[in-house]
Chain A
Amino acid sequence: MSIIQIAILCGVSALAHVFINVKWRGWLLLGLNITAIYWLQPAMPIRWMDFWLPTLIIAMTVTVWAITARPEMRFTKNNWCAGLFAVLLIICVALTRFISDEGIITASRPPQFGAVLAGLFFIGLIVLTFGKFSNPSKGLLTLFIAGFILIFVFIKLPVLMLLTSKVLRMIVGQNPQTASTFDIRWLGYSYVVFRIIHTIRDRMTGRLPDISLQEFINYVIFYPSMPAGPIDRMERFLKDLRAPVTRSPDTFAIGAERIFSGLIKKFIIADSLAIFSLNAGNALQVNSIVWQWIIVYAYAIQIYMDFSGYTDLAIGMAYWLGVRLPENFNQPYTRANLTQFWNNWHMSLTQWFRGYYFNPLTRSMKSGKIKIPATVVVLVAQVSTMVLIGLWHGMTWNFLLWGLWHGMGMFIHNRWSDFTKPLTIKYEDRTMLKKGWSLFATFLTFQYVALGWVWFALPNLDSSIAVFKRLAGL
Chain B
Amino acid sequence: MKHPIYLIIFLFILAGSACGTKAEKSGPVTAVELYQQAFAAKDADKVSIYSCADWEAQALMEMDSFQAVDTELENLACTETGNDGDAVLVKCQGIIKTTYGEELREIDLSVRTWRMIQESGEWLVCGAQ
Contacts and interface: CB of A to CB of B under 8 A. Distances in A.
Interface residues of B, number: 34
Interface string B1-30: 001011011001101110110001110001
A46 B46 CA distance: 9
A112 B9 contact: no
Interface residues of A, number: 37
Contacts of A109: 26, 122
Contacts of A350: none
B104 interface: no
B4 to A, nearest CB: 10
A43 B45 contact: yes
Contacts of A91: 9, 12-13, 16
Nearest to B119: A173
Contacts of A134: none
Given A94-B16, A175-B56, 19 more contacts: A43-B46, A46-B49, A47-B49, A81-B5, A85-B5, A88-B12, A95-B16, A97-B19, A98-B20, A98-B25, A100-B25, A108-B46, A109-B26, A113-B19, A117-B16, A172-B120, A175-B54, A178-B57, A178-B60
Contacts of A177: 57
A114 B20 contact: yes
Q: Summarize A's interface: helix, strand, loop or mixed.
A: helix
B119 A178 contact: no
A108 B49 contact: yes
Q: Determine which residue in A85, A102, A111, A115 has the highest number of CB atoms from chain B within 10 A of its CB, and name it.
A: A102
A163 interface: no
Contacts of B34: 101-102
A92 interface: yes
Contacts of B73: none
A87 interface: yes
A433 interface: no
B9 A174 contact: no
A75 to B, nearest CB: 13
Contacts of A175: 53-54, 56-57
Contacts of A99: 25
Interface in B21-57: 24-26, 30-31, 34, 43-46, 48-49, 52-54, 56-57
Contacts of A111: 120-121
Q: Which of B12, B15, B31 has the most CB of A within 10 A?
A: B12
A45 B49 contact: yes
Contacts of B44: 45
A451 B15 CA distance: 59
Contacts of A174: 48-49, 53, 56
Interface of B: 3, 5-6, 8-9, 12-13, 15-17, 19-20, 24-26, 30-31, 34, 43-46, 48-49, 52-54, 56-57, 60, 119-122
A128 to B, nearest CB: 15
A101 B26 contact: yes
A22 interface: no
A84 interface: yes
B17 A113 contact: yes
A255 B43 CA distance: 36
A95 B5 CA distance: 17
Contacts of B53: 173-175
A87 B16 CA distance: 13
A423 to B, nearest CB: 59
A44 interface: yes
A290 B99 CA distance: 36
Contacts of B25: 98-101
8 contacts: A45-B44, A45-B45, A46-B49, A81-B5, A91-B9, A109-B122, A173-B52, A178-B60
Nearest to A170: B53
A114 B17 CA distance: 8
